[in-house]
Structure 1
């Protein structure tokens, strides 16, 4: 089964929010992405709404409902407000990240041992609503941490691939980083967990990731995909990333 592509529209919303104007349209570009074959949309509604606004969620949920196989992935730190947003937006998947509200972007995974009790309660609450749960993890090769993820009750992990993406000019470091990511992924899979990935993934580095983790269920990509769309247009960019995911020849 080819790796699914979920288009993260946060960067589009961030650009829109630079002016008090409705463009670029998050809904409009999300529609183009889905029509080009993306399997879903991802958002990260931060408390300050600096990119995705809470009001965007209902609009995007309605859009996704038009595409029978598309999913809505909502990621964020599980405050009560965030959990309520996930319920109201009927998220198909929730990716829990350990972000401080002041962070510019997600840049590390959970300390599962430290936050196990909190995550057990949060995951149980969301799963009772029929939502698939993914937990953001450091791809550092910590195999024992996957035992804790399994105990927490998550369905998936999402590998933080920022360090891998940051090795674009250092093939040797990229190779060693990929080895650690794969060790984490293999440990998760051995425990019955599915594996997603996200952060700084590109058309160029996706094939190497998928070659080493061929069972990768989904990638969520925003920054580079949005940057590429400035050159190639959203539809062609989605097709380019789908090719890198093994969906198109």
Structure 2
């Protein structure tokens, strides 16, 4: 089964926030993405609300619950009490915990699972007690010790940070090396009972080699590259392009 595609709406929200206007519509483009075959929507509500606003969350939740009940709502963020409360209020299917400082422009590293083990264990239990699947952002070269700790924390999945892989565009040899590294880490995760997601700087061009390196990849979350592609191909066409890159068959009506 090819990996599920979750469309990250942060870049759409950031464009909207440049003006005090309701367009582009975050939920409107989320609806188009889901209707075109996306499997879910991802948001990262940062404390400063510089892209996704807290007021977007109930609207996205309602969109999925009412129009796409089989779709997945994925909320990602640093596990502050405020973020955990947002999760408990808006009931995502999956919570992805990232080790970002709130001032960071974007996620750029995974957790040190060993150093943060006890705190992450408590947070993960709280989230799982609420019925959420929990994924933890993970370095692309995490070793056995780190992944042992991730499993002991109680994570359901890890999301491999693919930024270094995405940065190899134009260098096939470097891309192959990064893909192999990600494949090795994915194998270590699977051996410990962890599912594997991936995200950051993924594109139509670099998804097929990634899928080849991690054939049982569960889910990818894609925002920047997908939104950039949508400027050229439209959101519906872009979702179909990314689904094809993941190995999904084209719908009968396409």
TM-score normalised by L of structure 2: 0.97
Q: Shift of residue 160 of structure 1?
A: 0.1
For 1:73 and 1:63, the matched residues in 2 are separated by 13
For 1:242 and 1:106, the matched residues in 2 are separated by 24
Structure 1: 5+ residue stretches without partners: none
After superposition, give the CA deviation of every residue in 1:41-67 in whole Å (9 maximum; x if it has no partner). Answer: 000000000000000000000001121
1:56 paired to 2:56: yes
1:80 paired to 2:81: yes
For 1:240 and 1:104, the matched residues in 2 are separated by 27
For 2:142 and 2:195, the matched residues in 1 are separated by 16
For 1:141 and 1:199, the matched residues in 2 are separated by 16
- Partner of 1:90 in structure 2? 91
Aligned pair count? 249
Contact conserved, 1:141 with 1:181, CA < 8 A, in 2?
A: no
For 1:102 and 1:118, the matched residues in 2 are separated by 21
- Partner of 2:25 in structure 1? 25
- Partner of 2:11 in structure 1? 11
After superposition, give the CA deviation of every residue in 1:4-56 in whole Å (9 maximum; x if it has no partner). Answer: 00000000000000000000000000000000010000000000000000000
Q: Shift of residue 68 of structure 1?
A: 2.5
- Partner of 2:46 in structure 1? 46
1:69 paired to 2:73: no
After superposition, give the CA deviation of every residue in 1:109-132 in whole Å (9 maximum; x if it has no partner). Answer: 001111001000000000000000
1:107 paired to 2:108: yes
* Structure 1 residue matching 2:55: 3-state secondary structure: helix
* Structure 2 residue matching 1:54: 3-state secondary structure: coil
After superposition, give the CA deviation of every residue in 1:148-186 in whole Å (9 maximum; x if it has no partner). Answer: 111000000000000000000211111111111111100
**1:187-198 pair list within 5 angstroms:** 187-198=188-199
Structure 1 consecutive aligned stretches of length 4 or more whose deviation exceeds 6 Å: none
Q: Shift of residue 141 of structure 1?
A: 4.6
* Structure 2 residue matching 1:91: 3-state secondary structure: coil
Structure 2: 5+ residue stretches without partners: none
Contact conserved, 1:126 with 1:133, CA < 8 A, in 2?
A: yes
* Structure 1 residue matching 2:114: 3-state secondary structure: coil
Q: Shift of residue 103 of structure 1?
A: 0.2
After superposition, give the CA deviation of every residue in 1:181-221 in whole Å (9 maximum; x if it has no partner). Answer: 11110000111110000000000000000011010000000
1:129 paired to 2:169: no
For 1:13 and 1:74, the matched residues in 2 are separated by 14
TM-score normalised by L of structure 1: 0.99
Contact conserved, 2:114 with 2:145, CA < 8 A, in 1?
A: no
For 1:248 and 1:32, the matched residues in 2 are separated by 19
1:119 paired to 2:120: yes
Question: How large is the RMSD of aligned CA atoms in angstroms?
Answer: 0.7
